[in-house]
Each structure stands twice: as structure tokens, then as C-alpha cells.
Structure 1
Amino acid sequence: MEESCVCLNTDGSLRPDEGFVAAGGLAQYQNDRWIMVFSKYLGNYTMMEAKLWGILNGLKLILDRRFESILIQIDSLEAVNAIQEGVFSTSNSTLLRRIH
């Protein structure tokens, strides 16, 4: 892959004692050269929602930098299925439609 292709790796984390989640990840070129890292405290969400927010936030940051070729890497088949089935239905879902 050429250097204009970006790999987006995201995940969520949960604080079990309080139920608060955060999402974050990193974007890098195929040659492992980092572009950016990001994280965001989300509050009281499910782990699945945290994973989806991580993808959405990462995509927004990458698109803001004008990259067009993006490979998303995530460890959740459930999140992939939710995106493919269009389950992610918040006001920010227009970003997903723009990308698709």
C-alpha cells in the first residue's frame, strides 16, 4: 500500500467499578510510521458503543487531515456487523454515510 493509505486501530476501555468508558486509538501509515494517537472519555456507555465511538472519532480525525484511503482495524466483529447493518443511529451517523 502507498503511504497515503492510513491504518486506523481503535478500541474502547471500561472502568468496571463505575461503568464509565473511553475510546481511543492510533492512525499510522502501512510502514508503522505514526500519524496520531487519540482518546476520548465518553462517560456511561456500553463497551460496544465505546468501540463504535472510537471508530467514528478516528475516522473524523483522519478525514480532517484529508486522507482518503483508510483501513480500519478493530477486534470486534459485533462492531463491524453493526456498521454494516446500519445500526449506529446517532446524529453523527452522517459521517459514516459520507465515508461509505
Structure 2
Amino acid sequence: SDDTWVYLSTDGAVPRYSGYAATGGVARDQDGNWIVGFNRFLGVCSPFEAEVWGILDGILILFNKGYRRIIIMTDNLEVAQILTDMDLEDSGITVLRRTHRILQSERGWMIKHILRNQNLVADRLAKLSFS
């Protein structure tokens, strides 16, 4: 599994009525076959942080399974831009610094911004954490 690219789609969810956040994601291989799905209830955090938690959870799960080449897909443009921009040491957001550090130490990854309607499985998985 070292040299194959896997696709990681992640999403965060923060319903306005509660302010509680959850995150979720799905990883698929190059042929679209399901590798793993995950989700997690986060408690109180911002929509931005929920998105980053999804990416962090996803890459750690995939690294743990031996995958090293990951195409990260998020429908949050701000998250995609910030993680691509390599100057984050002074960020006040701990989960962002941690994710950034891990990505910096790895070579095989890319981040792509996708449209929300291309990210429905990850969105649904995140929302399952509330039920």
C-alpha cells in the first residue's frame, strides 16, 4: 500500500442550534473502493477546527494502516489554502499546528478543494456523530 494514492474526503459539521461539532471522513483507493470510514463527536469547537480535525483523524488512520500517499479532499477552501501554505508555526489553533507538522514531515500528500456536493458521504458520516 506504500506507493498507491488514496483519496481522503473529510468534513466537519457544526449545527447552529447546538454549537457542538463533529467530524467524519471516508478513504477510498484509486478505483473508488472503500478503505475506511470514520467519525467523531468533538464537542464545542469552530467549524474551521472541525474540518481540520477530520483531516488529522483521517491521515492518522491511513498512516496507521500503512498508506503514505494521500490526496486530501475538503470542501472548505480556507482549510485547503491554509494547509497548502507552509507558514503556520505561529497559528493559535493547536489542531492546525499539529496537522501541519505531520504533513510537513511527510512527502506524499496533496490537498484539493472540492465542491460540497462532491463531499456528501463525509458530510453524512460527520452528522451521524450527533445521533
TM-score normalised by structure 1 residue count: 0.86
Give the deviation of 1:99 after TM superposition. Answer: 2.5
- Aligned residue type for 1:99: E
Q: Flag structure 2 segments of 5+ consecutive residues without an equivalent.
A: 108-131
AA at the equivalent of 1:33: N
State the identity as a percent.
Answer: 31
Structure with bigger RCO (C-alpha 8 Å, 6+ apart): 2
User: What is the CA-CA distance between 1:89 and the residue it aligns to?
Assistant: 4.6
Specify the SS of the correspondent of 2:14. Answer: strand
Name the CA distance, whole Å, in 1 between partners of 2:102 and 2:69. Answer: 15
SS at match of 1:95: helix
Q: How much has 1:32 moved relative to structure 2?
A: 1.1
Q: Which has the higher strand share?
A: 1
How many Å separate the matches in 2 of 1:7 and 1:77?
A: 17
After superposition, the CA RMSD in angstroms is 1.9
Deviating more after overlay: 85-94 vs 60-69: 85-94
Q: Distance in 1 between matches of 2:39 and 2:60?
A: 13
Summarize deviations over 1:21-67 as a string: whole Å, max 9, x none: 10110000121110000001111111111001101110010011111
Shift of 1:92: 2.9
Structure 1 position 6, deviation (Å): 0.5
Question: What residue is the counterpart of 1:9 in the other structure?
Answer: 9
Residue-pair matches, total: 98
